[in-house]
């Protein structure tokens, strides 16, 4: 399979918006959402100006703009996480309980389908029927994961969405996109939706998440997509479905299974008690990505894990470990940031706090934040030091194009042990945008098979 999307930036490199925002050093409680700052499929003068202003603030709070682990007031984080980026948040309050490189720009793979669903899901009734044509299936990238949509067969909208959520079918995505006015129209609408959600790290190139140059997102943005998607009953129902019957022509059907191993227990991964969903992804460039949500004791947590070292089931196991930590220690954790409100629901744009000063030092690759160090406001000296590292990365990124820089070795914790069952789910026709891997750390006793 081709590997055409941009390689992820160095672990210590922050997005330009996050790095420049550190100079303001405003209190977390005063941090407010900002306008989008990544390229749009259909840019406008107003949108470009809004993004320019947004570069002086870190969306969700200053601490989320720092490289490395951010956690306050709670201990016991899993020690063997290998992901390049991860985030734990409370679904209801939106509080970010802990994070690692929350705004790092990375290829999202099929987790971008959460934004696709959040954009298109309410456009059509579940019972609406559509007879698929050859044109509907034109332009699907070679190597895509497919659910098995065929021209000449009539599908309900509900069946197509099951193909998207369970099998990560790019064929189902393209059919729904054509029903929505075409791929280009859908991409533009997805970018507009990302802008409204204030998912400023996300640049949409395709509706299916397949590898394309410049298509990036972040753990923060993917968590935003999941949080707002789960507010919709249909989205929630689709992502929690384990199996479904899919049309094969005439009266024939075949069964499709969800590729989320924490939901189904496939490949020996224990099902996670209380898991809701949400979406996994894999491409040869992105590796494995996953955003999961689970409810225990009346509390719902969201976890996003991007690009762990281990293939196979590693991404699920690291997600489970972070969920375990959140349910055990989350009540003690003081928030290091927040998932901001959409502009359309009253979210406020960030007001630029002034021009960022120059500095000479780079950002540390890893830092563990406590209440006695950065706190809510953050250290002025540290902000100045971090600014230079972010500014260098920004200039370099401008030279090579959006997120097009080759990665250096990542500053991570030690790798996970155990065998690697592979990097793709054999249940799909191709691993192009299907689910795969993770490995687990933390208290395995907290996860129980259903």
**Residues with catalytic roles:** 110, 113, 168
The CA-atom distances, in angstroms, between 134 and each of 5, 138, 174, 175, 441 are: 27, 6, 11, 10, 46
The CA-atom distances, in angstroms, between 20 and each of 47, 223, 355 are: 19, 22, 9
Chain CA centroid to CA 252, Å:
36
Q: How many CB atoms lie within 10 A of CB 125?
A: 10
- Return d(Cα 19, Cα 29) in angstroms, integer: 19
Radius of gyration of the chain (CA): 21
Q: Are 397 and 16 in contact (CB under 8 A)?
A: yes
What is the DSSP track for 9-51?
PPTTPPPHHHHHHGGG---GGG-------S--SS--HHHHHHH
**Neighbouring residues of 233: CB distance < 8 A, sequence distance ≥ 6:** none
* Phi, psi of 190, rounded to the nearest 5 degrees: -65, -40
- Return d(Cα 26, Cα 13) in angstroms, integer: 21
The encoded tokens of residue 71 equal 């956690």
Provide the 3-class DSSP secondary structure of residue 249: strand
* Phi, psi of 189, rounded to the nearest 5 degrees: -70, -35
Q: Are 68 and 101 in contact (CB under 8 A)?
A: yes
**Neighbouring residues of 169: CB distance < 8 A, sequence distance ≥ 6:** 145, 146, 147, 148, 149, 163
- Return d(Cα 204, Cα 182) in angstroms, integer: 15
- Return d(Cα 303, Cα 316) in angstroms, integer: 10
Partner residues linked to 256 by β-bridges = 244
Sign of CA dihedral 226, 228, 231, 237: negative
Q: In terms of DSSP H, where are the helices of 94-182? A: 113-120, 157-167, 170-179
């Amino acid at each position: 399979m081709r590997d055409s999307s941009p390689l992820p930036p160095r672990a210590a490199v922050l997005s330009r918006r996050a790095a420049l925002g550190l100079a303001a050093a405003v209190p977390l409680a005063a941090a407010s959402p900002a306008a989008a700052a990544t390229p749009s499929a259909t840019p406008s003068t107003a949108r470009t100006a809004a993004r320019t202003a947004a570069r002086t603030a870190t969306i969700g709070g200053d601490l989320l703009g720092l490289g490395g682990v951010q956690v306050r007031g709670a201990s016991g984080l899993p020690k063997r996480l290998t992901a390049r980026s991860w985030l734990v948040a409370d679904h209801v309050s939106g509080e970010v309980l802990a994070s690692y490189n929350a705004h790092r720009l990375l290829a999202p793979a099929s987790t971008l389908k959460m934004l696709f669903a959040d954009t298109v899901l309410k456009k059509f009734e579940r019972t609406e029927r559509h007879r698929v044509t050859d044109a509907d299936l034109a332009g699907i990238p070679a190597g895509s994961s497919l659910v098995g949509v065929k021209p000449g067969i009539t599908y309900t909208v509900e069946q197509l969405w099951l193909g998207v959520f369970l099998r990560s079918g790019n064929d189902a995505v393209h059919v729904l996109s054509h029903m929505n006015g075409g791929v280009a129209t859908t991409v533009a609408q997805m970018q507009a939706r990302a802008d409204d959600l204030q998912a400023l790290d996300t640049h949409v190139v395709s509706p299916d998440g397949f590898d394309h140059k410049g298509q990036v997102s972040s753990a923060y943005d993917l968590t935003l997509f999941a949080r707002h998607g789960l507010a919709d009953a249909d989205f929630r129902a689709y992502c929690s479905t384990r199996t479904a019957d899919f049309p094969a022509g005439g009266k024939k059907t075949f069964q499709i299974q969800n590729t989320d191993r924490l939901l189904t227990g496939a490949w020996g991964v224990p099902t996670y008690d209380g898991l809701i969903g949400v979406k996994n992804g894999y491409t040869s460039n992105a590796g494995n990505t996953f955003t999961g949500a689970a409810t225990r004791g009346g509390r719902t947590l969201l976890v996003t894990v991007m690009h762990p070292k281990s293939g196979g089931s590693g991404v699920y196991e690291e997600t489970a470990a972070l969920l375990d930590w959140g349910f055990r220690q989350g009540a003690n954790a003081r928030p290091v940031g927040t998932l901001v409100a959409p502009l359309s629901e009253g979210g406020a744009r960030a007001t630029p706090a002034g021009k960022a000063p120059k500095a000479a030092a780079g950002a540390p690759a890893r830092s563990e934040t406590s209440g006695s160090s950065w706190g809510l406001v953050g250290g002025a000296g540290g902000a100045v030091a971090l600014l230079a590292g972010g500014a260098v990365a920004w200039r370099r990124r401008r030279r090579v194009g959006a997120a097009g820089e080759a990665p250096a070795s990542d500053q991570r914790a030690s790798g996970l042990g155990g065998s690697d069952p592979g990097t793709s789910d054999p249940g799909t026709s191709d691993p192009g945008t299907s689910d795969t891997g993770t490995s687990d750390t933390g208290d395995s006793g907290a996860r129980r098979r259903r």
